[in-house]
Amino acid sequence: MSNRYKLIKCTINGKEREVMIDVRASLTDLLRNDFRLTSVKKGCEVGECGACNVLINGECFNSCIYLAVWADGKEILTLEGLSDPDGGISDIQQAFIDEAAVQCGFCTPGAIMSAVEILNEGRELSDEEIRIRMSGHLCRCTGYENILRAVKKTMLKRLGKAEQ
Partner 1 sequence: MYDIKALYEAGSVEEAVSLLVEHPEAQIIAGGSDVLVQIREGRRAGVELVSIYGIDALRGICYDEEEAIRIGSLTSFSHIAADPIIQEKFPVLGEAVSLVGGPQIRNIGTIGGNTCNGVTSADSASTLFAWDAVIELTGPDGIRRLPIQEFYIKAGKVDLRPGELQTAILIPKKAYEGYTGRYIKYAMREAMDIANLGCSVNAKLSQDKKTIEDVRIAYGVAGPIPLRAVTAEAAVKGCRTDQKTIDAFGEAVLSDIHPRDSWRASKAFREHIAKVLASRALKESVLRGGGEICE
Partner 2 sequence: MYTGKSVKRVDAFDKVTGRTRYTDDLCDRSAYIAKVLHSTIAHGKVLKIDTSEAEKIPGVVKILTCFDLKEKHYFPTAGHPWSTDPGHQDVADRLILTDTVRFYGDDIAAVVAEDEVAASQALRLIKVEYEEYPFVLDVQEAMKDGAPQLHEAFPNNILKHTRISNGDYEKAIQEPGLVKVEGWYDTPTVQHCHIENFICYTEQVNGRIHVVSSTQIPHIVRRVVAQALGIDWGLVRVEKPYIGGGFGNKQDVLYEPLCAWLTLQTGGHLVKLDVSREETFVCNRVRHAIRSHIVSWVRPDGTYAARKLECFSDQGAYASHGHSICAKGAGSFPQLYPCENVEVDAYTIFTNKPAAGAMRGYGIPQAMWAVESHTEEVAAVIGEDPLVFRRRNLMPVGYEDGFSKNKLYTDSFNQCLDKAMEAIDYKRKFAEYQNQTGDVRRGIGMAVFWYNTAVWPISLESSSCRMVLNQDGSFQLQLGETEIGQGADTAFSQMAADVVGVPLEKVHIVSCQDTDVTPFGTGAYASRQTYVAGFAIRQTGLLLKEKILDYAHELTRMPVYNLDIKDGNIVRTTDGQALMSLAELATEALYSLSDSRHITAESTYQIKSNAYSFGCTIAEVEVDIPLCKVKLLNVVNAHDAGTLINPALAEAQVHGGMSMGIGYGLSEKLIFDPKTGRALNNNLLDYKLSTFMDHPHLQALFVENPEPTSAFGTKGLGEPPACSVAPAIRNAIYHATGVAVNEAPVNPHILFKAFTEAGLINDEPKGPSQS
Q: Contact residues for partner 2 (CB under 8 A)?
A: 24, 33, 37-39, 41-46, 48-49, 51, 78-80, 82-83, 89, 93-94, 96-98, 100-109, 112, 131-132, 134-135, 137-148
CB of 40 to partner 1, least distance (A): 13
> Which region holds residue 45: left if phi is over 0, alpha if psi is between -120 and 50, else beta?
left
CB of 62 to partner 1, least distance (A): 5
Cβ contact 129:151 at 8 Å: no
Sign of CA dihedral 65, 107, 121, 131: positive
Which of 16, 18, 20, 59 is in the footprint of partner 1 by CB under 8 A? 59
Cβ contact 146:85 at 8 Å: no
Q: Does 26 bind partner 1 (CB under 8 A)?
A: yes
Applying CB under 8 A, which part among 34-42, 98-106, 128-136, 148-156 lies near partner 1?
A: 128-136
> Which secondary-structure segment (H or E) carries 69?
none
> Which secondary-structure segment (H or E) carries 150?
helix 145-158
Q: Does 51 bind partner 1 (CB under 8 A)?
A: no
Which of 17, 80, 98, 136 is in the footprint of partner 1 by CB under 8 A? 136
Q: Does 43 bind partner 1 (CB under 8 A)?
A: no
Q: Does 80 bind partner 1 (CB under 8 A)?
A: no
Q: Does 123 bind partner 1 (CB under 8 A)?
A: no
Nearer to partner 1, 133 or 160 (CB): 133
Give residues with Cβ within 8 angstroms of 41, minimum separation 6.
51, 52, 106, 107, 109, 110
What residues form DSSP beta bridges with 59? 56
Going from the C-alpha of 61 to that of each of 5, 77, 94, 96, the distances in angstroms are 23, 11, 23, 21
Q: Give residues in contact with partner 1 (CB under 8 A).
A: 1-4, 22-26, 29, 45-48, 50, 53, 59-62, 65-67, 69-70, 114, 117, 132-138
